[in-house]
Amino acid sequence: MSTASDLSFYLRPGGGLHGRLQVPGDKSISHRAVMLGAIADGVTRISGFLEGADSLATLGAFRAMGVPIEGPDGGQVHIAGVGLRGLRAPRSDLDLGNSGTSMRLLAGLLAGQRFATTLVGDPSLSKRPMRRVTEPLVRMGARIETTEPSTAPLRITPVAALRPISYALPVASAQVKSCLLLAGLYAAGETCVTEPAPIRDHTERMLTAFGHPVRRAGSRVCITGGGRLSACRLDIPGDISSAAFFLVGASIAPGSDLTLEHVGVNPTRLGVLNILRAMGADIQLTNPRDAGGESVADVRVRAAPLQGIVIPRDQVPLAIDEFPALFIAAACARGETLLTGAEELRVKESDRIRVMAEGLTVLGVEIKPRADGISIRGGDYGGGRVDSGGDHRVAMAFAMAALRAGAPLEIRDCANVNTSFPGFADLAAGVGLGIEEQWT
């Protein structure tokens, strides 16, 4: 049986990207659609659901807690919600695989339940920091046990009631904000979260779609506990984090002209577009529309000469998941690109600064890692064997690097690409990337 380290990508150097494609549904929105649909009243009908391992882990957790779910079938999921207090104790630990979003958001939603649960994950997830959610949840009165370094498993014990709090996020984290808003559904009173910088707001938008009021005043977001959520229809747009690899690939490969259809362009997720445009990328948004409270558009990108920049710090939280792809853009840009204020990259599925720096060094790119970022001097580079560290976004980023490589490229440990982008290699090959998969 294959394991997470058995898949490698083999890439031919050069080529370009042409045509039209649609990337899979947004992972962040898919998670939240399942969570809110499960505790709503009525049947929530979802289209465009991401059938990747991470969002399937969320789906499995709610099935284990007694929620009737049909699908996924071609991106269609029907959830018969059990209401705010209708979840049941699972018979065993909830295994969330590699999904940090599942674990952190579920910690908040389950902290107010009347039964005990234990959240576990794979070795990578079990190393990621959880104090950022457990500390404010404990302030709300939750009882949560972790390992000594505050990592999974998370053992959640029921309490009589949660207390509402006002909490200022020490770092810009949509996962922590969402965790506390979900816990706030079970607190008696108003729970408020203050953001240090604008961060993705999918949870607030979706709560509104389910009929639960959310109050925003500047950087402060508040929710009042109790009430009810009403089932709705949700059309999940394509994930801009998945689109980012193709935006970079088409920007750096001479002659490329690619259109990505039905991409989510939520204003709190546009950092990757803003940064690429600042570097000189030729990106146009067409056919703008609304899908279930989320902004959607088609995105056309054509090859353009890129210039190194100092990445504005206010764009960092808006592009935190897209930096592996942006590092490849920087490696192809004229001059130096400097990123600072991105300590969060150290605690993703891998230490993305370290793993990307190691891979870029293999290719011969001039880089200088920093504690909170990296400097990259663009230019010609070669090929070689790169280890993704089991990180799906690192693997896909280096796949796009082949478009400008001077020699073939092998990327190791790529199976986790299926957590966010099932079918990536076939879709990429269909628009011109010279990629082959090999299981060993």
DSSP per-residue string spanning 331-351:
HTSBSEEEE-S-GGGGGSSS-
pLDDT string in tens for the chain (440-residue length): 334 458 999 999 999 999 999 999 999 999 999 999 999 999 999 999 999 999 999 999 999 999 999 999 999 999 999 999 999 999 999 999 999 999 999 999 999 999 999 999 999 999 999 999 999 999 999 999 999 999 999 999 999 999 999 999 999 899 999 999 999 999 999 999 999 999 999 999 999 999 999 999 999 999 999 889 999 999 999 999 999 999 999 999 999 999 999 999 999 999 999 999 999 999 999 999 988 789 999 999 999 999 999 999 999 999 999 999 999 999 999 999 999 999 999 988 889 999 999 999 999 999 999 999 999 999 999 999 999 999 999 999 999 999 999 999 999 999 999 888 999 999 999 999 999 999 98
Indicate the residue among 168, 199, 231 that finishes a domain: 231
Closest by Cα among 12, 15, 16, 11 to 302: 16
- If asked whether residues 11 and 87 sit together in one domain, one would say no
Pair (128, 222) in one structural domain? yes
Q: Are 223 and 181 a contacting pair, CB within 8 Å? A: yes
Residues 19 and 44 in one domain: no
Same domain, 252 and 170: no
Out of 206, 231, 256, pick the residue that ends a domain.
231
190, 209, 231 — which closes off a domain?
Answer: 231
Are 218 and 260 contained in the same domain?
Answer: no
147: helix, coil or strand? coil
Cα separation, 150 vs 105, in Å, equals 16
The widest CA-to-CA distance across the chain, in whole angstroms, is 63
- 240-252 and 392-401 are packed helices; what angle lies between their axes, rounded to 10 degrees? 20
Confidence (pTM) = 0.92
Residue 413 lies in a domain: yes
Structure-block tokens of residue 309: 């920049």
Count the residues in the chain.
Answer: 440
413 flagged as catalytic: no
Taking the C-alpha atoms of residue 59 and residue 416, their distance in angstroms, rounded to an integer, is: 18
Note whether residue 312 is domain-resident.
yes
In the chain, the number of structural domains is 2
238 to each of 26, 28, 228, 270, 347, how far by Cα in Å?
5, 11, 29, 13, 25
Domain co-membership, 335 together with 416: yes
| Same domain membership, residue 58 and residue 161 | yes
Q: Tell me whether residue 374 is in a domain.
A: yes
What is the rounded distance in angstroms from the CA atom of residue 372 to the CA atom of residue 368? 11
Q: Are residues 355 and 342 part of one domain?
A: yes
Let me know if residue 2 belongs to a domain: no
Looking at residue 349, its pLDDT comes to: 87
Residues 193 and 98 both lie in one domain: yes
Query: In this predicted structure, what is the pLDDT of residue 52?
Result: 94
Same domain for 259 and 166? Answer: no
pLDDT score, position 291: 82
Provide the domain limits for residue 378.
Answer: 7-24+237-439
Q: Are both 360 and 380 inside the same structural domain?
A: yes
Phi-psi region of 293 (alpha: psi -120 to 50; beta: other; left: phi over 0): left
Domain assignment of residue 125, yes or no:
yes
Structure tokens at 25: 């549904």
CATH (domain of 314): 3.65.10.10
Which entry of 122, 321, 387, 391 is annotated as an active-site residue? 321
**Residue 1 in domain:** no
> Based on the domain organization, do 248 and 331 belong to the same domain?
yes
Q: What three-state secondary structure class fits 57?
A: helix
Distance CA 397, CA 393 (A): 6
In a domain, 207, yes or no: yes
The amino acid occupying position 337 is T
Rounded Cα distance, 144 and 152, in Å: 11
Contact 209, 202 (CB under 8 A): no
